[in-house]
Structures are given as structure tokens and as C-alpha cells.
């Protein structure tokens, strides 16, 4: 077990947000419960995959005829969170390994994040992570998390209509082959 576990069983807020302008944004998974808050650094791709996989869990629960949980198909209006990240954003660690789970006893999606650890070359066994973030969120909160995260990921630089690459404010060198 990691030496330090930041555990949030019924958080007041769990969101992905960014700091910085499009093109140089830093992504964070931020969780708050009362006055206690933790921010974990993510890559943009990690954020997108996290939302996708949580959405798959929720959709699978909705499709299961034996499911006794009421899983919303859309974000409940009272759970929409468009606010910026809580300030100051202080990165606890940068996430490497992440795991997802489902707890049917509490009807919560579980997200676990572990630090990106640089393994020593001579070590045969990976080292135990030094810390972890464990977040348990109810299905409505999880649906809101998915929708917000997808919006945050899409809100970066616009895509080039020819090559699909990002277009910066100072221009774009298109990598598409000439026709």
C-alpha cells in the first residue's frame, strides 16, 4: 500500500480542469471535500481516456437489465460544474498509472491515480508507489465528470480543417500532403 493515500469517499467536487492558455495548458484532476483539496497532474490524453472509460462503465450499467442502480443518461442539471479549478492549484503528483473500478455496495465509480515513477534501471520489480489518489464518486457525479472532462479536452486549440493538427494563434504549418 502506498505510504500516503489521498482518499475522497464522497467528494464535494471532482473535476478535470486546466491552467494556462490553449497550446500550453496543464491538465489537473482536482478533488475537494470541505476544506481539503488535492490536485493531480494529468496529460490531455489521460483526461480524455479517463472520461471515455468512466462513460463506458456508466453505459454498461445502464444496459445491464439486472442493474438495480439508477444511472443517469445525461448530467443532472444540479451537478453541472463549469467553475474554474480551485486556486491555488498545487500539483500533489503527476499521474502515471490509473485504475478504474465499480463499487456496487455504494453505487460509486472508483478512480485511483498513482504517481509517474521513474524506475531504476537495475530494479527487476517495480517499486511500490509512494502515494495515491483514491476518489469514489456516485453515478450522477461520474456522468457530470465525463461531460465536463470532454468539454475541457475539446476546448483547446482549433483543429486544422486540412490536416487535423492544432492551429496556434501565430499560425500553422499544415502537414497535409499537397493534392
Q: For residues 32 and 12, is the Cβ–Cβ distance under 8 A?
A: yes
Lookup: cell for 151: 468539454
User: What pLDDT shows up at residue 130?
Assistant: 87
| pTM (two decimals) | 0.84
Q: What is the secondary structure of 55-97 as a DSSP string? A: HHHHHHHHH-TT--S---SS--GGG---PPPPSS--EEEEEEE
User: What pLDDT shows up at residue 165?
Assistant: 74
User: What pLDDT shows up at residue 118?
Assistant: 57
Q: What are the pLDDT tens digits along the chain (179 aa)?
A: 668 999 999 999 999 999 999 889 999 999 999 999 999 999 999 999 999 999 999 999 998 887 777 888 899 999 999 999 999 999 999 999 999 999 999 999 999 999 987 544 555 666 788 899 999 999 999 999 999 999 999 998 777 888 877 777 777 778 666 55
User: What pLDDT shows up at residue 120?
Assistant: 47
Number of H helices, E strands in the chain: 2, 7
Phi and psi torsions of 126, nearest 5°: -65, 145
User: What pLDDT shows up at residue 127?
Assistant: 73
Q: Reduced to 3 states, what is the DSSP secondary structure of residue 11?
A: coil
Q: Can you point out the beta strands (E) in the chain?
A: 4-8, 13-19, 26-33, 36-42, 91-103, 108-115, 131-138
User: What pLDDT shows up at residue 128?
Assistant: 81
User: What pLDDT shows up at residue 175?
Assistant: 67
Amino acid at each position: 500500500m502506498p505510504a500516503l493515500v489521498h482518499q475522497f469517499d464522497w467528494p464535494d467536487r471532482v473535476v478535470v480542469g486546466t491552467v494556462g492558455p490553449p497550446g500550453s495548458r496543464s491538465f489537473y484532476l482536482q478533488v475537494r471535500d470541505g476544506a481539503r483539496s488535492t490536485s493531480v497532474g494529468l496529460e490531455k490524453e489521460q483526461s480524455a481516456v479517463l472520461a471515455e472509460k468512466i462513460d463506458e462503465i456508466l453505459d454498461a450499467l445502464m444496459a445491464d437489465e439486472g442493474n438495480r442502480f439508477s444511472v443517469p443518461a445525461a448530467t443532472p442539471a444540479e451537478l453541472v460544474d463549469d467553475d474554474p479549478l480551485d486556486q491555488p492549484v498545487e500539483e500533489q503528483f503527476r499521474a502515471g498509472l490509473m485504475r478504474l473500478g465499480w463499487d456496487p455496495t455504494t453505487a460509486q465509480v472508483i478512480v485511483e491515480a498513482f504517481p509517474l515513477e521513474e524506475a531504476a534501471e537495475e530494479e527487476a520489480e517495480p517499486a511500490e508507489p509512494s502515494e495515491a489518489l483514491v476518489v469514489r464518486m456516485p453515478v450522477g457525479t461520474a456522468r457530470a465528470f465525463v461531460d465536463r472532462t470532454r468539454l475541457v479536452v475539446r476546448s483547446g486549440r482549433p483543429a486544422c480543417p486540412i490536416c487535423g493538427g492544432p492551429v496556434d494563434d501565430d499560425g500553422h504549418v499544415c502537414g497535409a500532403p499537397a493534392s
